[in-house]
Amino acid sequence: MAPRGQKLFTLEEARALLPRLRELLTALQAERREMAEELRALERLTSAMRANGHAAEAARREKRLGSLTAAIRGGLQQLAALGVEVKDVDSGLVDFPSLREGRIVYLCWRLDEPTIAYWHELDTGFLGREPLEPS
């Protein structure tokens, strides 16, 4: 039985979400890369440089970091609202709670995979993945 409010996905429902997940995860990855670049650029602006004509650049970068933070938070909220569990944005690793043989497990998918082809127990994680269909 699923905990109250937890969505359980059939394989078909999970696979139907993949185009939307690809879109959201790709955007999140791009925003995270841009955020890392902005942080590196901001760190290069020492306090002396900020006082010496670079204050506007620092303010612009800080504003952009705020926008990126809000966008990333919004993207993660959209993913959570879909009922999926994002395990790692950088690799695009997502789990879908699902019922298998009478117990809750995760259907497991990564952004670089064409479809959902694996599952794992709740406590085993990515390294415990097993194929949905025997080879």
Which tens digit of pLDDT belongs to each residue from 76-117? 999 999 999 999 999 999 999 999 999 999 999 999 999 999
Distances (CA, A) of 46 to 34, 68, 128: 20, 22, 46
Q: What is the pTM of this model?
A: 0.85
Mean pLDDT calculated for residue range 125-134: 90
For β-strands 130-131 and 118-120, DSSP reports them as antiparallel
For the sheet containing 118-120, what is the strand order?
85-88, 93-100, 103-110, 118-120, 130-131
- What pLDDT sits at residue 3? 62
H-helix or E-strand containing 32? helix 11-44
Query: Which amino acid, 13?
Result: E
